[in-house]
Amino acid sequence: MITPRGWQDDALTQFERAKRPSFLLEATPGSGKTIFSGLCADVLLTRKVVNFCVIVVPTTALKGDAEAGFLGDWNKVGVQLTTVLKNTGDAPTEFQGGIVTYQQLPNMVATLETWARNGRRLFFVFDEIHHASETNTWGAAVESCGRIATRILAMTGTPFRGDGMRISFVTYGPDARAIADSQYDYRSAVRDNVCRQVQFMTDDGLAEFALHEIDNEVRISESNDEQASAVSAVIFRRDSDWLRRVIEKAEAKLDEYRVVDVDAGGLIICRPGLDANDDRHLHQVAQLVREITGDAPEVITHDDPDANSKIERFRTSNQRWICSVRKISEGVDIKRLRVEVMANRPSTELLFRQLVGRVVRVDDPRRRQDSTVFVAKFPQLVEWAERISDEAEAGLREATVCAKSDRALVESDENGFVALGSTHEDGGAISDFGEAYAADEVDIAERLKRDDPQLLDVPVTKIAHLIRKLGVQMPDNVAHEEPLALQKKRLRAQINTLARRVAIRGNPNKPDFSAIWIAIHRHTGARNLDDLMDNHNLDIMRQVVELLKKILGAGDAAAA
């Protein structure tokens, strides 16, 4: 169902030939680590090396949805996952794997050990393994899982920790960096047009503040480590002239991208507050964005219970801006992001690269793309930005055999603004008669054009227009059936509603749910909703729906 990219094909061969149970993949953010892990799982499951997969992720957002993350990407590979693993009972038989977070893992270890003793051959995938160190609880849980694993795939885009602690399952070189079994860096990803080239806009300025009753005036680019925190507190304020100017520039840049990429979006990463519950800066910046652009941005707070649905809504919408603190710093796949504003000062290169990784994902591999990141001109941030830009330029030189490589052109204005490169893009999905087409319609049209020489001179938008007009169905290699977990989730909600209605009808004062499940068990063998979800297929769940509707009667069931 999925054709591996070149680097994924090579890494998969290395994974299959590996002598040790554990395998470390270092691949730059946005290059396709999630799909790669699914390809590994498919090989191991098909060959019956393992019979259940456990994926461990840093945040619930990375569990995924119908289109992205582990749930969506493994579904495209053909491996069905559940996003709910319980710490009691056996592994669910209806799914080939499950996803938990590092926070949940310590509570799951005993259950996983029981599964292994009972004959489960487990494949563990540790996403962003740098979260698990030798000194934290997550690291201890990861090590315990390693002792019962048949195979292990550890993945990271940044194979080092800011605190210098060792990472589980990792061999280190003399420079204290992890030694990967397979490596795919940003330079290679730009060369292969897997990741976009990033251009950094580094804005300078003066910060005025009083410290210990002494007035200070510090230029951002000249601030030392001791002054940097105070400068940050000034320039990232909601009423800061510096922040307003940067957001205005970012808005103008987003307009440029939208000329050729109609749903291009922007991300603003805000400063964390005084503690984990302080989102004041986030909301203040969001209000400033609304004043400048006239549109309210999507806002994702650190503990937002609706974060996943908001991210999904933004991913599939035409909304311009999304504001967050750290919720979108790692792993979240929103390919339409083209502009980023760091309204903060990342303290480590690891975090800096993770933040930049949010705007490097290529959404159309048939054309070269770039993205723009606005950062304050702190010396340390500039150093990290130059390092990334050098890697990208080297990758472009390797990709361009007969053409001149792009080079960063440094220009300074009265504010000390520095631009590291500029690239113009052609493309778009709007016809000459003003009709807009969705990404999947354009994708099908371009596939047809590539495969049929007679369509060589026909505009893609005209092909898309005919596809829409004739109601042509998507080819199988484009349309993917919804993940099993999401189909079951909808049926579960329907069954729960119908069962509650049946119980209330039988005795409004004291509904007897056990009697309902006795009847369901007699017809299907399912003991309860959890058992139905984990160990019975969709047909059985649909039988339960029909059974409950029959009990209710056609009229009442239709209202459900």
Report residue 124: phi and psi, to 5°: -100, 130
Query: Is residue 44 a part of any domain in this protein?
Result: yes
Instruction: State the CATH number of the domain containing residue 109.
Output: 3.40.50.10810
The secondary structure of 497-540 as a DSSP string is HHHHHHHHHH-SSS--HHHHHHHHHHHH---SHHHHHHHS-HHH
Half-sphere exposure at residue 229, Cβ-oriented, CA atoms within 13 angstroms: 6
Tell whether 476 and 502 lie within a shared domain.
no
| pLDDT tens, per residue, the chain with 560 residues | 677 888 899 999 999 999 889 999 988 877 889 999 999 999 999 999 999 999 999 877 778 777 778 988 899 999 999 999 988 788 899 999 999 999 899 999 999 999 999 999 999 999 988 777 666 788 889 989 999 999 999 998 765 555 556 666 677 777 666 678 898 888 888 788 778 878 788 888 888 877 766 777 888 888 888 888 888 888 888 888 899 989 998 998 898 788 778 889 999 998 876 555 567 888 899 999 999 999 899 988 866 777 777 888 888 888 999 998 866 655 567 888 999 999 998 888 778 888 888 888 877 766 557 788 898 989 888 888 877 776 655 443 443 332 222 222 222 233 332 222 211 122 222 322 334 445 456 557 656 755 665 664 454 556 766 776 776 665 554 456 778 888 888 888 888 888 888 888 888 878 788 888 888 988 899 988 888 999 999 999 999 999 988 888 754 544 44
Tell whether 384 and 515 lie within a shared domain.
no
H helices within 357-451, ranges in order? 379-399, 439-451
CA dist., res. 271 & res. 325, Å (int): 6
Pick from 317, 373, 350: nearest CA to 200: 373
The secondary structure of 213-268 as a DSSP string is TEEEEEEGGG--HHHHHHHHHHHTSTT-HHHHHHHHHHHHHHHHHHHHSTT-EEEE
pTM (predicted TM-score): 0.69
CA dist., res. 243 & res. 233, Å (int): 11
Tell whether 17 and 114 lie within a shared domain.
yes
Query: Is residue 526 a part of any domain in this protein?
Result: yes
Q: Which two tokens stand for residue 35?
A: 């799909």
Q: Which residues are CB-neighbours of 541 under 8 A, at least 6 positions away?
A: 488, 491, 492, 495, 532
Q: Which two tokens stand for residue 377?
A: 């001109």
- Which of these three, 464, 480, 496, is where a domain ends? 480
CA dist., res. 157 & res. 193, Å (int): 17
Largest CA distance in the chain: 81
Instruction: State the CATH number of the domain containing residue 411.
Output: 3.40.50.300
Q: Which two tokens stand for residue 391?
A: 């890697």
Tell whether 21 and 126 lie within a shared domain.
yes
Tell whether 100 and 249 lie within a shared domain.
no
Tell whether 213 and 126 lie within a shared domain.
no
Tell whether 406 and 455 lie within a shared domain.
no
Query: What is the residue range of 442's domain?
Result: 429-480
Q: Which two tokens stand for residue 358?
A: 């949010």
